[in-house]
Structure 1
Amino acid sequence: MSELLQIAIAFASVAVLLCLMAVVKRLAKTRDISPEVQRKLVHMGTGLYALTLPWLFTDNWPVYMLVGLTLIVMAILRLPAFSKGGIGETLHGVERQSYGDLLLALAVGTVFLLAEGNAILYVLPIATLTLADAAAALTGSRYGRKFFTVEEGQKSIEGSTAFFMITLMISMVCLLLLSDVSRPNVILLAVMVAAFGTLVEADSWRGFDNFFLPTGLMIFLESHMDSPWQSLVLLMGVFLVALVVFLRVAPRLGITGHAARVYTIATFLLITVTAPQNTILPLLAFVIHAFAHRLSPCKAAYPALDIVAAVALASFGWLAIGLITGMNALMYYGLMSAGLCVGLIAVSLGAFSIWVRVGATLVVGVGLFGLYGFLMRYNPASIQWPGDMKFAGAITIGMMVVIGSFRPSLFDTRRAAKLTFLAVIVPGLGYGIKVIGA
């Protein structure tokens, strides 16, 4: 297939999406379809179309171009001129705030990249997001009678049950048709995928399930699809124990049960995707954030959830960049995590004098950078390719100490996002310079 034809298909795909939204909007007027159902119809149509992408294009770059075009269009449709009365209303007519439209497009591109041509790693997560998520929402809104509380309100047991059953069936079909997994492992993996996916969907907020659900399932499958059944059973037990521990400890730290479940999911995914030494600093950021919020409360609506979203999105970003360039980014990811921890400590000491904040944060920052260096030594040489990180580390730690200590009020709102962005700047520039110079 020629490059020109693939470009034309990409633009035509965006046109098809807009036509779908226009049709749904027209049906909504004539059939009195609720905003939630409208959104899910567009969601299902987009997801089903996304399933064809590996076979629709002969090259990978048109898929990424299509994702980029879709993100631009989704951002435009968020403008009042389109979201109020226009076709964007099919996505933004619901009362709650959601980034699901943007995150769905981002998830398709991320899973397509990380799957690296392995059909089951792409098809199963996207099919689950498309079909099971829609089934859960529609079942819950129509038949929901028993509810459990999450930060944004309530979700129904009936909806989660529908999600589990649909995901179980999708998983079994995909594992049987698209993999060589043994029959006993098909059952175990399908149950684990359904259970894990149900927990992710039930505990997501602001549409983040559109990203975390497919990417989380893909990482889980990639890591454990070939594991023996004994390891899968042990993994299931470890996850359940971790969930119980988090739920028991959470109240003492002022963390809700919802946030505790999200922490468990994030911890599980971090441990799944990389070696233990590379998980310590990002997990430490979760703990420090909890104490920082108690000492200096953040004005965000869901601070405990925001830190998980920020770290998770940054984690997937570093993973994707490493795959694109072919140069592992774990050293820079670890430095970002250390910088985030330092920033959180600086902000937490806002009630103390400036010199106490600077001195205490600097001492802790030096200690955290030492911990970072110690942990990175346990990685193989292929990960330690950047070499000495002292200069980048000094700038990162110093920047976080100065900005966090001198202007802690900057982080009264959107604390997790702002600090994560600051912590990424120096590692991101350092990584870019190294890649260009390689």
Structure 2
Amino acid sequence: MLTSFFDLESISPLWLQSAAVAIWVLLMLFAAWLVNRFANKDPEIVRKIVHIGTGNVILLAWWLDIPASVGITASIVASTITLLSYRFPILPGINSVGRKSFGTFFYAVSIGILIAWFWTQQQPQYAVLGVLVMTWGDGFAALIGQRFGQHKYRIFDRQKSWEGSLTMTVVSFVITSLILVSVQGNLWQSWLISLTVALVATCLEVFSFLGIDNLTVPLGSAALAFVLSQFLY
């Protein structure tokens, strides 16, 4: 298991572990500010930098074996800040005041739910899987779809692209298979579960609205991988 490979719990006190996570998040926010200030004024690019960058904090929490209480508390704080940011310009460039999406709020909530769910069961890999499918799959699907999506389709008055949806499927499959193979081994069950999760995650992303895919995709992906693993392994 990856935690045994890194095995940093015995040498890193809790405050140092938490500081490592906080520093990573601050670095991602600083990178987004730099891009917004000097390189690219597109708010969607800035949001995706934060979306993809901060989501990887779940890997640090896994490798450093940070307690569930710390992750849940951080999720509550982040959720509160993001809710306020929809009303006040607390996170300019990440949320727009009056923006018709609660994606950032759902993003923070989903991380807290997954940590509370799987950390307490000593199965953190499923929480990591769910968050990273959202982080990388959904993040790259949006970027690829907006820049290279030539073949459009509509779902519930929302325009999507086949290029973006295919990106979501491929990235979700890669993320899921890497995690399951690293934990469960290179077995046919790992690949079958990965393919199933990738397809379902893509459907959840396609049929979601108002940013709720940041809740349905991670929770659905993690829950499906967990249930299938219990049944197939």
Task: Give the TM-score, by structure 1 length.
Answer: 0.46
Q: 1:97 maps to what in 2? A: 100
The CA distance in 1 between the partners of 2:130 and 2:19, in whole Å, is 25
Q: 2:29 maps to what in 1? A: 21
Offset at 1:10?
A: 4.5
Q: 2:49 maps to what in 1? A: 41
Contact 1:10 1:65 in 2 (8 A): no
Distance verdict in 2 for CA 1:7–1:64, change over 3 Å: farther
Offset at 1:122?
A: 1.8
Q: Which of residues 35, 40, 48 is equivalent to 1:32?
A: 40
The CA distance in 2 between the partners of 1:38 and 1:97, in whole Å, is 17
Deviation readout 1:413-436 (Å, 9 max, x if unpaired): xxxxxxxxxxxxxxxxxxxxxxxx
Identical columns (%): 23
Offset at 1:221?
A: 1.5
- State yes or no: 1:112 paired with 2:115: yes
Q: 1:140 maps to what in 2? A: 145
The CA distance in 1 between the partners of 2:17 and 2:31, in whole Å, is 20
Q: 2:6 maps to what in 1? A: none
Runs of 4+ in 1 over 6 A off after TM superposition: none
The CA distance in 2 between the partners of 1:91 and 1:223, in whole Å, is 34
Q: 1:300 maps to what in 2? A: none
Unaligned runs of at least 5 residues, structure 2: 1-8
Deviation readout 1:115-163 (Å, 9 max, x if unpaired): 1221331222112111111110110010011112133520111000011
Unaligned runs of at least 5 residues, structure 1: 83-87, 230-438
Distance verdict in 2 for CA 1:146–1:96, change over 3 Å: farther
Q: How does 1:103-252 map to 2 (within 5 A)?
A: 103-115=106-118, 116-151=121-156, 153-180=158-185, 182-183=187-188, 185-228=189-232
The CA distance in 2 between the partners of 1:213 and 1:111, in whole Å, is 12
Q: 2:69 maps to what in 1? A: 61
Count of aligned positions? 221
Distance verdict in 2 for CA 1:109–1:20, change over 3 Å: same
The CA distance in 1 between the partners of 2:27 and 2:87, in whole Å, is 18
The CA distance in 2 between the partners of 1:144 and 1:32, in whole Å, is 20
Contact 1:21 1:90 in 2 (8 A): no
Distance verdict in 2 for CA 1:56–1:69, change over 3 Å: farther
Distance verdict in 2 for CA 1:203–1:96, change over 3 Å: farther
Contact 2:88 2:97 in 1 (8 A): no
Offset at 1:199?
A: 0.3
Distance verdict in 2 for CA 1:152–1:90, change over 3 Å: farther
Q: Which of residues 75, 84, 87 is equivalent to 2:83?
A: 75
Contact 2:21 2:60 in 1 (8 A): no
The residue matched to 1:225 in structure 2 has which SS?
Answer: helix
The residue matched to 2:47 in structure 1 has which SS?
Answer: helix
Offset at 1:20?
A: 3.0
Q: Which amino acid aligns with 1:112?
A: I
Contact 2:86 2:97 in 1 (8 A): no
The CA distance in 2 between the partners of 1:120 and 1:187, in whole Å, is 16
Q: How does 1:269-284 map to 2 (within 5 A)?
A: none
Q: Which of 1 and 2 has greater Rg?
A: 1
Distance verdict in 2 for CA 1:194–1:81, change over 3 Å: closer
The residue matched to 2:194 in structure 1 has which SS?
Answer: helix
Offset at 1:76?
A: 3.4
The CA distance in 1 between the partners of 2:194 and 2:42, in whole Å, is 33
Contact 2:177 2:191 in 1 (8 A): yes
Q: 2:58 maps to what in 1? A: 50
The CA distance in 1 between the partners of 2:65 and 2:125, in whole Å, is 17
Distance verdict in 2 for CA 1:187–1:8, change over 3 Å: closer
Q: CA RMSD in A?
A: 2.7
Distance verdict in 2 for CA 1:72–1:18, change over 3 Å: farther
Distance verdict in 2 for CA 1:226–1:61, change over 3 Å: closer
The residue matched to 1:98 in structure 2 has which SS?
Answer: coil
